[in-house]
Amino acid sequence: MTTQLDDYEIAAACDSMRGFLDVLTNWYIRRSRDRFWDSGDALSPSTRAAFDTLWTALEVVTRTVAPLLPLTTEEIWRGLTGGRSVHLQDWPDPSMLPADHALVAGMDRAREVCSTASALRKAGQLRTRLPLSTLTVVTSAPEQVERFVGIVADEVNVKSVELVDVGSAGEAEYGVSRRLTVNARAAGPRLGKDVQSVIRAAKAGEWTAGGDGTMTVAGHELGADEFELTLEARDGAAAAPLHDSSAVVELDVEVTPELAAEGLARDAVRMIQQARKDAGLHVTDRITATLSLNQPSAEAVESHRDWVAEQVLATAMHVEVATGDPAVTVTVSA
């Protein structure tokens, strides 16, 4: 944004901030809700870190956007800091902020995996609250996602996330194929008329990888800037490559009776939470819940009674089989 505003590229600067705020709101804050709701007398280190990170992000954002939103940023910044005015502050210096490029790259990749898995769910008409068994990520860099498998599993509602190195079992076991595309513009001047035979050989899959990041095609060695290696998903599977084709995500879409029952229990939790909201209850209020559900849903809630009660803060829960439409009633416990 500093570069864009220095060049008077106002629309580009607005787009940059809009993209950042989307990630801040719909990923960081949403994914950190449990940390923000720490109910202990003394905040845990994780909760303190979450608030510190959010405060820092908002304080820097308000200074950065102040020329574009002078009144809104003034209100937010003064509320955050108690200071006199955001417009009397120095412009943020990016070099003063902590930087961990590996962390950012890994989290970006985890978000891409989640987005692709969600698209697979939508294509298979599998609702988000229905848990699935396994999500498999076939990639040449499994270490990028390894530290975020818990977040990915929770976000896409799967029991486990498996990371497979495409260089080992990925191609054989999961049917993932690697496609080599020759960059004719880069390789053409060096290869001359041989570039056409190299392109044909690459399309036919007649190439070998060197240990130094090069590729040998039709007797010619290609440098890293002269080709692109991408992954493609196998036909017939609930699978799709990431947008840069550097990894393939495959979702196990088999719904067992146990998974279906858990999904129905999650649906019941959503109904109870909505009833709490409609009743104007505080998020910490303990409740008594009465549920009138169809036979499968009633059986599912009974089989997951303790978990449902914990999720909705219910001290007592009564479940009956409905003769009409499903209904939920909640009252505040004494």
Question: Please, are residues 145 and 137 in contact by the beta-carbon 8 Å criterion?
Answer: yes
pLDDT tens across 17-63, in order? Answer: 999 999 999 999 999 988 887 666 678 898 999 999 999 999 999 99
Q: Are strands 247-251 and 158-165 parallel, antiparallel or unpaired?
A: unpaired
Task: Using the structure block, give the residue that is written with the tokens 């003063």.
Answer: 96
Question: Rounded to whole angstroms, how far apart are CA atoms 122 and 115?
Answer: 11
pTM value is 0.78
Task: Using the structure block, give the residue that is written with the tokens 């899959």.
Answer: 205
Task: Quickly count: other Cβ atoms within 10 Å of residue 204's Cβ.
Answer: 11
- Encoded amino acid at 222, one letter: L
- At 133 the pLDDT is 94
Q: Are strands 207-209 and 215-217 parallel, antiparallel or unpaired?
A: antiparallel
Question: Please, are residues 30 and 50 in contact by the beta-carbon 8 Å criterion?
Answer: no
Question: Rounded to whole angstroms, how far apart are CA atoms 241 and 112?
Answer: 10
Strand partners, 250: 136, 239
pLDDT tens across 148-166, in order? Answer: 999 999 999 999 999 988 7
- 212 pLDDT band, cuts 50/70/90, is low
Q: Are strands 215-217 and 220-222 parallel, antiparallel or unpaired?
A: antiparallel
Question: Please, are residues 247 and 139 in contact by the beta-carbon 8 Å criterion?
Answer: yes
Question: Quick check: 1 pLDDT over 70?
Answer: yes
| Mean pLDDT value across the chain | 87
Q: In what order do the strands lie in the sheet with 327-332?
A: 314-321, 287-293, 327-332
pLDDT tens across 93-121, in order? Answer: 988 898 899 999 999 999 999 999 999 99
Helices (H) and strands (E) in the chain, counts: 15, 12
Q: What is the mean pLDDT of residues 173-183?
A: 72
Percent of the chain at pLDDT above 70?
91
